[in-house]
Structure 1
Amino acid sequence: MMLKFTLLPALASALALFSQHVLAAPAPIGGFIPAGNDTRPVIRADSSGKLQDSLLNERGELLSDARIVLESRQSPGFAYGSQKVRGVNIGGWLVAEPWITPSLFESTGDSRVIDEYTFGQYANNAYGRMQSHWASFYTQSDFNQIAAAGLNHVRIPIGYWAFDTSAGEPYVHSNQADYLESAIQWCRNAGLKVIIDLHGAPGSQNGFDNSGRKGSANWPNAQSNIDRSVNVISSIAARYAKYDGTVTSIELLNEPAGFLGGNMLPAAKQYYNSGYYAARSKFGNAAIMIHDAFQDLSYWNGFMQPQQYQEVLLDTHIYQVFSPSEVALSENDRLSNFCNMINDLQTSNRNLYTVVGEWSNAPTDCAKYLNGRGVGARYDGSYPGSYYVGSCSDKTGDGSAFSSSYKDYLRRMFETQVSVYERASGWVFWTWKTESAADWDYQRGLKGGWITYNLNSRPNARC
């Protein structure tokens, strides 16, 4: 609930005295960016009305004009905005990707199998292959290791087809939702928090293979696609609400491709509103996460604000490898680019708590199939329309070919990004493990020493 008023001098004096004597350590002024054109300072109060911020400014002067904002009535089980999210994605498991597990796709012996849609369409014994993959790729041991690495979150992608193939899609529609439930239980055992991420929507929201179907992004072109997505979110919220306190957030949709123009952004905003209420009606405490749709963070200023919306998080993804100019960046320029993001992230975090929900250590796109099964890399010039920057032979794989200097570079990449992203509300690394892409692999990074167990010590950070 948001209350806006100008404080009368007498009331202001009384409240200032109250805040000085009752609040042991007032937080810095302001928990939210001012709504609309309202530039008055923000004073936060909890649901009982107790002030959480001082009524004095940095110079000790009384704030005679302020907005008082009652904090969220939701209790998601993690203090987003004050605690930092430190997590990893559980990529390539319940939404299979060729570059994370090349063997799963190559073992089909069919080059037409490039995503989960074509896997179900063309792979021999697709059901059995997927069952074997789900049963073996992640276990309780992985989540124990994640917790032991000092992390507090996992983000688990899942596709809509785990819940709904009513339009006759050829996906393997089986017990993915049961495996998700097992993962939530493993996280509860390990003391980890879970973000459930709807990674693929009907019609595909971006045309990427990780949406389930590579090609066109047809999700916004039919209301039935959006309606089905809302129903899936409702099903997710209803099924996993019993894990309140472990499941702390539901992400409504991964990476809708706003850069495509057309009706993608209007559809995404409409869907975010509908999805918010669908999730809230079934799972009242979970924070609701929305993706920035590849727009500047400032695009979302004033969107889904209190009082109408509570506990909304903004997810942004930061990679610098998906264009020829990015893979050609020098180390100095790359690290400087990260540092230059601090102001935008901090500003966004005052609008909606902002989490960098995907990022990696990789300075190249050399990982096999990263750009799609059978597609080359920009770094070595094998991607259509790219040019040669360098050899991929010592930039990816299992990490055994990494030189000491390259590992040092990866270490600086990691520590700099952690330092930058924690200026906002935290981060979720992509991904915990891969078959053969050590530059994207948190587990291998820990073993190889370019990712640290002590996340509070970052002597190699640029900023």
Structure 2
Amino acid sequence: MKLHAQALTALIACLGLGCFHHAQARPASSAGFVGMNDTHVVQADADGMLMGDLVDERGAVPERTRVLLDTRQNPGFDYGSKKVRGVNIGGWLVAEPWITPSLFDNTGDNRVIDEYTFGQYASNAEGRLQNHWNSFITEDDFRQIAAAGLNHVRIPIGYWSLVPSQGEPYVRSNQLSHLTNAVRWARNYGIKVIIDLHGAPGSQNGFDNSGQKGSVRWPNSQNNADRAKAAIVVLAKRFSAGEYAGTVTAIELLNEPAGFVGGNIIPYTKQYFIDGYYAAREVFGNAAIMIHDAFQPLSSWNGFMQPPQYQQVLLDTHIYTVFSPAENAMSKSQRLATICGKIDSLKASQPNLYTVVGEWTTATTDCAGELNGRFVGARYDGSYGGDSYYIGDCSKRTGDGSSFSQVYKNYLRDMFETQISVYERASGWIYWTWKTERAADWDYQRGLRGGWITYNLNSRPNAAC
């Protein structure tokens, strides 16, 4: 039976059958009855024409029918043909000491090093966070982001904001309402939104930006994945509403799982990605689903979560050159060559899953205060400890930008233009981060004001490649 897939809705309504669009079924390699649920799977080609029989041998549409569209659908932004040009709203709904050091310093408690300990030890923790949420990001930020020619924001949020506590001391208040306001502001200015689950139960990487600094306990219990999946469902239900259609274009299932720790974290996280995909897709059929590369080579994700079984899956990779002594010691030419060396892997990844560089920076050192953690020094000036050693003076490399020399500003400019040129060889980029209190080398807003970030994103005369 030849039938265009878009005609199924009317047919289903007529017959009263439980069919679904947009690949909401578990995967199947061909048409036919599969699995214990007796599900009839029919594939459709890129034009929406069915490639198998909709009806069974009795001439009836089986009660449990799924249609898999053999194409990457457009969730409100065509990630295959358009380029993502975006910025992260870091340090807002997931607080980070280096982005807003005053929030942490004003507690007067040196035990407060992340959001977990903020809720545990800070006096009036909820009131302090409410003031931060109300003031750090406002609608005017979205006006400025749109004026800068950007088409996306990526907004991090922690699981503790979305699902009930199991004894953790996090402040769970109205973060979801603040996120909803941000989505409305984005809609007002024509900006697309990727919502990023930045912190998972058990901490997926042990970084303070996961909510809890320390050990990686994420893969130690199925309960952690189940709670993260529940958080994704909360987001999917909220932003599948019609008023957000075409604004929230993607949900990222998890930021930066630490694949480098070994053990079971990669298989555990891959299974979570699959389960999270179906959980989100069940209620939010049009959104793209983003997964992070877990600090593994892009090529290691070849063949994972492919169409037609999986639709609208994006791969997020983060590129920094400041988190080792060797990287801090690189010359300008070495650093730019390192970035240009990413072209081949990005281009090779693109046919597998549309690939977005979801975090990167113009910063050339790790000098930003508390970037490596509260009360932790920098590798660049040797104060980090361990194998770090003195490379140079941090005082002219970060701060509010007022002490930056023109030579250094030109270096930051070349870093910006080179990276956007390289990252648009794939599906584009999302800069980390929009604003900080005193780390201008990481700060998109200050970069615009200081002139090392351009408003004309199509002009890159200083790109190294």
Fold shared per TM-score above 0.5: yes
What's the offset of the Cα at 1:166? 2.6
Q: What CA distance in whole angstroms lies between the structure 1 residues aligned with 2:236 and 2:70? A: 25
How is 1:322-333 mapped onto 2 (pairs within 5 angstroms)?
A: 322-333=323-334
What's the offset of the Cα at 1:165? 3.6
> For the Cα contact (< 8 Å) 1:197–1:252, is it kept in 2?
yes
Q: What CA distance in whole angstroms lies between the structure 1 residues aligned with 2:165 and 2:432? A: 31
> For the Cα contact (< 8 Å) 1:165–1:171, is it kept in 2?
no
**Which amino acid in structure 2 is aligned with residue 46 of structure 1?**
A
Match of 1:150 in 2: 149
SS at match of 1:455: coil
Match of 1:178 in 2: 177
Match of 1:194 in 2: 193
Q: What CA distance in whole angstroms lies between the structure 2 residues aligned with 1:181 and 1:371? A: 30
Q: What CA distance in whole angstroms lies between the structure 2 residues aligned with 1:147 and 1:45? A: 36
**Which amino acid in structure 1 is aligned with residue 76 of structure 2?**
G
What's the offset of the Cα at 1:384? 1.2
1:81 and 2:56 are equivalent in the alignment: no
Q: What CA distance in whole angstroms lies between the structure 1 residues aligned with 2:286 and 2:112? A: 40
Q: What CA distance in whole angstroms lies between the structure 1 residues aligned with 2:183 and 2:151? A: 13
Aligned length: 402
Q: Deviations along 1:73-122, whole A, 9 cap, x unmatched?
A: x3310000100000000000000000000000000000100000000000
What's the offset of the Cα at 1:390? 0.1
SS at match of 2:447: helix
**Which amino acid in structure 2 is aligned with residue 166 of structure 1?**
S
Question: Over aligned residues, Cα RMSD in angstroms?
Answer: 1.3
SS at match of 1:230: helix
1:223 and 2:222 are equivalent in the alignment: yes
Q: Deviations along 1:110-165, whole A, 9 cap, x unmatched?
A: 01000000000000100100000000001110001000000000000000000124
1:96 and 2:95 are equivalent in the alignment: yes
**Which amino acid in structure 1 is aligned with residue 71 of structure 2?**
E
Match of 1:358 in 2: 359
Q: What CA distance in whole angstroms lies between the structure 2 residues aligned with 1:316 and 1:81? A: 16
SS at match of 2:146: helix
Q: Deviations along 1:283-320, whole A, 9 cap, x unmatched?
A: 00000000000000000000000110000000000000
SS at match of 1:393: helix
1:405 and 2:404 are equivalent in the alignment: no
How is 1:4-403 mapped onto 2 (pairs within 5 angstroms)?
A: 46-48=46-48, 70-72=70-72, 74-242=73-241, 243-385=244-386, 386-403=388-405
What's the offset of the Cα at 1:235? 1.0
**Which amino acid in structure 1 is aligned with residue 414 of structure 2?**
R
**Which amino acid in structure 2 is aligned with residue 162 of structure 1?**
S
| Structure 2 unmatched ranges of 5 or more | 1-28, 30-43, 51-68
**Which amino acid in structure 2 is aligned with residue 177 of structure 1?**
L
Q: What CA distance in whole angstroms lies between the structure 1 residues aligned with 2:433 and 2:381? A: 23
What's the offset of the Cα at 1:168? 1.3
> For the Cα contact (< 8 Å) 1:328–1:379, is it kept in 2?
yes
What's the offset of the Cα at 1:49? 5.1
> For the Cα contact (< 8 Å) 2:183–2:193, is it kept in 1?
yes
> For the Cα contact (< 8 Å) 2:71–2:308, is it kept in 1?
no
Q: What CA distance in whole angstroms lies between the structure 2 residues aligned with 1:49 and 1:388? A: 64
> For the Cα contact (< 8 Å) 1:209–1:372, is it kept in 2?
yes
SS at match of 2:209: helix
SS at match of 2:394: coil
| Structure 1 unmatched ranges of 5 or more | 1-34, 36-43, 51-68
SS at match of 1:315: strand
Match of 2:66 in 1: none
What's the offset of the Cα at 1:405? 0.2
How is 1:437-448 mapped onto 2 (pairs within 5 angstroms)?
A: 437-448=439-450
Q: Which residue among 419, 424, 427 is the counterpart of 1:425?
A: 427
SS at match of 2:224: helix
Q: What CA distance in whole angstroms lies between the structure 2 residues aligned with 1:251 and 1:445? A: 27
Q: What CA distance in whole angstroms lies between the structure 1 residues aligned with 2:261 and 2:210? A: 15
Q: Deviations along 1:202-238, whole A, 9 cap, x unmatched?
A: 0100000000000011011001001111111111101
Query: Hey, which bits of structure 1, 4+ residues long, moved more than 4 A?
Result: none
SS at match of 2:433: coil
> For the Cα contact (< 8 Å) 1:206–1:216, is it kept in 2?
yes
Q: What CA distance in whole angstroms lies between the structure 2 residues aligned with 1:166 and 1:388? A: 43
Q: What CA distance in whole angstroms lies between the structure 2 residues aligned with 1:176 and 1:128? A: 13
TM-score (norm 1): 0.86
> For the Cα contact (< 8 Å) 1:155–1:197, is it kept in 2?
yes
SS at match of 1:191: coil
Q: What CA distance in whole angstroms lies between the structure 1 residues aligned with 2:277 and 2:47? A: 21
**Which amino acid in structure 2 is aligned with residue 345 of structure 1?**
L
**Which amino acid in structure 2 is aligned with residue 115 of structure 1?**
D
What's the offset of the Cα at 1:244? 1.8
What's the offset of the Cα at 1:46? 3.0
